[in-house]
Structures are given as structure tokens and as C-alpha cells.
Chain A
Amino acid sequence: MKKRFGMIWPSLMVLAMVVAIWWGAVALTKSVIFPTPWQVVTGTLELARDGTLWEHMRASLFRVAAGFGIAVIVGIPLGLWMGWVRGAFLTLNPVFQILRPISPIAWIPIAILWFGVGNASPIYLIFISSVFPMIVQTIAGVHTIEKRYLRAAENFGVTRRKLFLQVVIPATLPQIIVGMRIGLGVAWLVVVAAEMIALRSGLGYMIIDSRNAGNRYDLVIAGMIIIGLIGLALDRIMRLLENMKSVRWRYVH
């Protein structure tokens, strides 16, 4: 624990240096548009005080929770099924391999066409972009279950239900968690992009709106930093799953 705390200092130093260079550059160039770090701080406090910051954060987080939640519910069972049943894999995998490289941004016009400009559009975009990494990782997890474990299960002649609940799913769980981490990361990227184009709330909208309504670049940068911090926090929360006792085996040795 002490060692980990000691490791924080170098990255704090780098952060401090970035802020210093930024501040120095703004001061040197005497820019009237680009804000100093302090202006960003005061801008953020202003937004926090009048409540708009919390509203935008809540809007973005709600969309991510909904889209990612649906992707988990759909993607993990689908990945398990495709991983286990060879016919399902051979049938569906080519379709998914074509859909997967399409940028979520390219889906925006169709999302608006199908779901309008409400919450459903970004939720759909988040779903479509985070479901594929989860499917792919889950399939890979099932495919890489070591044969000796499947043989042991076969040897004891357990029911299909037990085979799935006590062998296939727990053996795949570490890969599922990797898929969820990737999926949530993509979801957070996408919600901001979607809000910049189609919506009137959320952190993405806040950034675009701040620029359009009077070149408030302090708020633009405040929005960017908040997005980064929330993204970091979300990843940290996902990483907590890796500490579950039943998946620790994957990370020791």
C-alpha cells in the first residue's frame, strides 16, 4: 500500500507540469480565447453552483447506464451461446465481423431516423458500440477454456445446467470482465460524441453549447476534464470486478 502511494508522485508531477506549461503558454501568448487553468476552475465552480453541471452529468451517465446495461444483458448470453454452440458461431460471426468495424458515429443518422432525437438514439448508439466487444471477448473466453477442465466435468457426468453454471461461465468470467471494461470505455466515448450532434443535454452537449454560446472555452475544457475523470472512475469501478475471489485465479502466477 505504501509502495503504491509512492508510485503516485511521478504522475502527479507530470500533471503539474502539464498545467504549468498550459498556464505559461496562455500567459505568454496573451490569448483572449484560450482560458488559463484558473479560469477553468472558476468556470467549473460556476456550473456546479447553478446546477447545470450535475444535470449534464446525470443525463450522460443515465444514457451510458441504459445502453451499456442492455448490451450486457444481450451481449454476454449471446457470446456464451456463440462460444459454446459451433453452429451459432459459424452462422452469426460473419455478420458481426462486418458490423463491428462500423464506427458508432456512422450509425448516428440511422439512429435519429429510427429513434428520433430523444434519449433512445444515444442509448441505441451506446448499445451497438459496446455490445460487440463484449460478444467477442465472451466468445474468446469460452473458446479458450482449457480442455482438462471440460474433460473433468465430462468425467463426473454432471448436468448441462451444472456444466454451464460451475464450469463454462466461471471459466469465461475473467474474459467477460475484460469485455465489459472495453464495452464501458467505448460507451463513454460514444455518449459524448452522440450528445454533441443530436441532443440538448449531457456533457457532450455542454461542450458544444459552451462554444456556440459565446466562446466559453473555459467550460469546453472543464467539460473535457470532467469527461476524462468520469471515464477513469468508470474504469476503476469495472476493475473492482477483477478483485472478486472467484476470478482472482486468472491474475495470479
Chain B
Amino acid sequence: MFTRTKIEIQNVRKGFPGDDGRLDVIDDLSFTVGDGEFVAIVGPSGCGKTTLMNIVAGFLAPDSGAVLVDGRARFKPNAKGVLITQAGSVFPWLTVRENLLFGLDDSRSDREALAREYAELVGLNGFENNYPHELSGGMLKRAEMARALVVKPEILYMDEPFSALDALRSLRMQNELLRILARERHTVMLITHDVEEAIHLADRILVLSPRPARIQAAFDVPFAHPRRVSSPAAQALRVAILKELGVEFTV
């Protein structure tokens, strides 16, 4: 289905100095993400998911191994792939509009039009001149998505992007994301602890082991969008993934 490889993670290892010697966080991890593919990574908390994301997005160097994007080794982050995190990083001192303009080169004549277009895409029209502290949590997330999308990245790195939102808002943002992805085909790497979110969004789900993180299992999600997470097939997948994570259901 995804013929071209977009991201290739090759034998990545990472450890940090701990109290008693070295703490291995990621141990010989390898996987690929296809061009336009949506890969979700789930794992127990503290298993090194965020460390992995920081390495893949270029913010952290692995101890050994490499991350290849479009076949070329990546060392530093760039606007080809934008990271969206749980805490968010919309600049509080800039208005929504100024935030959207931030990643666009000053010399571009279409930057104002682009900012308007993406504000509209995420449903923030009318709030362009508001400051982030004047927005709700959900709207702030929309602003962050718009700021990432406006630079037309090829990859979205999403680290628990909607975890700070309540269940309803999280679900709404997931639907927004799907709507946007249907329009502009990005490659997405999502880290989440929410198995249902992963099933709702992803083409493929990787389950990480407890620390040091390795790939414990991989699942294809063969359902067409729009998906019903409550369908029997989806629930069966959910149970299988949770079993990998050590949660058994006794009937």
C-alpha cells in the first residue's frame, strides 16, 4: 500500500546516565514509515516513547543507529517534519495570526493568505487576532495544528497531541485531523497511550515493550474511514493490542 519509505529508523539505541549506571531507554529499535502512512506507536508509560519521538524528529541524537528521512540521514530538526506535543508550543506572546506566520518565510508574498487559509481550515477564523491565553484548550490545539500545517510539512510528529484535552474534545480533534489528512496527505507518526485513538486514526500500530523499548508487536488497521471504534472487529483489535500491553480481559 505504501510503496515508498518516508522514514527509516535503523537500529536506534539510546541510554541516559542513571543512578546505578546506564539506563537503556531504547534498545536496537528499527522500523519504517511509508510515504503518506499513519503509524501509531503505543506503549506502557515510561517506556521511552517520547525519547524515541525526539530522536526521530531530530531533537535528540541516538547513541547509535540512524534515522533516515527520504533516504538521507537526519541530524537536526527542520520544517519538513513538525512536532506537536501534549504541552503544546504555540507562542503565548504572539497572536494566532502571528503564530501562523512564524514558520513562513518573510519574503513570501502569499504568507498572509496562507495564514488565513489555515486558520479557516482548523476553524479559527475570527480568532486570528486573539492571543493564545484568550483561547480554550481545544482552540489552542487547533492553532498549533494550523501553525504546523501552514508550512506544508511532509511529516507530522505527534507526541500525545490530544492527551491534555478531555475525552470529547480529544475525539473532536481526532476527527479534525482525519478531515485535514484526507485533504493533504501527510506522513504521520503518532505516539499515544490511548489504544482507541490509535485504532481510530492509524494505518498501522506498533506496540513497544517496557523499557528498554523494542517493537513487541505490529498490527495493521484494515478498516476504511470513517471508522467505528465500537465495531466488533475494531474491538477485537483493541483487545489484542491491550493484551500485548499486559491488560487481559477476563470474561
Contacts and interface: CB of A to CB of B under 8 A. Distances in A.
A5 interface: no
Contact of A152 (B89, B98, B133): B89
B89 A149 contact: yes
Contacts of A148: 85, 87-89
Contacts of B56: none
A252 B106 contact: no
Interface in A131-151: 148-149, 151
Interface stretch (A63-71, A118-126, A166-174, A220-228): A166-174
A37 B82 CA distance: 68
A151 B82 CA distance: 10
A148 B89 CA distance: 6
Contacts of A252: 133
Contact of A246 (B59, B77, B88, B93): B93
Place the interface of chain B in its size category: 20 to 34
B27 to A, nearest CB: 25
A1 B108 CA distance: 45
A248 interface: yes
A156 B79 contact: yes
A158 B131 contact: no
A247 to B, nearest CB: 7
B77 A154 contact: yes
Interface residues of A, number: 23
Contacts of A158: 102-103
B94 A155 contact: no
A151 B132 CA distance: 18
A157 B131 contact: no
Given A148-B85, A151-B59, A247-B93, A253 B133 contact: yes
Given A155-B77, A156-B103, A249-B133, A149 B83 contact: no
B133 A248 contact: yes
A36 to B, nearest CB: 51
A156 B94 contact: no
Nearest to A245: B131
Given A158-B103, A166-B102, A253-B133, A151 B89 contact: yes
Interface in A214-249: 245-249
Interface in B186-241: none
A162 interface: yes
B83 A155 contact: yes
B66 interface: no
A167 B92 CA distance: 10
Contacts of A153: 102
A249 B132 contact: yes
A60 to B, nearest CB: 35
B79 A170 contact: no
B31 interface: no
Nearest to B92: A249
A156 B82 contact: yes
Contacts of B143: none
A149 B106 CA distance: 20
Nearest to B59: A151
A80 to B, nearest CB: 15
A151 B93 contact: no
Interface in B128-148: 131-133
B91 interface: yes
Contact of B94 (A157, A170, A248): A170
A248 B82 contact: no
Interface string B96-132: 0010001100100000000000000000000000011
Given A148-B87, A167-B91, 20 more contacts: A148-B88, A149-B89, A149-B91, A152-B83, A152-B89, A154-B77, A155-B77, A155-B78, A156-B82, A157-B77, A157-B79, A166-B91, A166-B94, A170-B91, A170-B93, A171-B91, A245-B131, A246-B93, A246-B131, A248-B131
Interface of B: 57, 59, 76-79, 82-83, 85, 87-89, 91-94, 98, 102-103, 106, 131-133, 151
A-B residue pairs, 6 tightest by C-beta: A249-B92, A156-B103, A152-B89, A170-B93, A148-B89, A252-B133
9 contacts: A148-B87, A151-B59, A152-B89, A153-B102, A155-B82, A156-B151, A245-B131, A246-B94, A252-B133
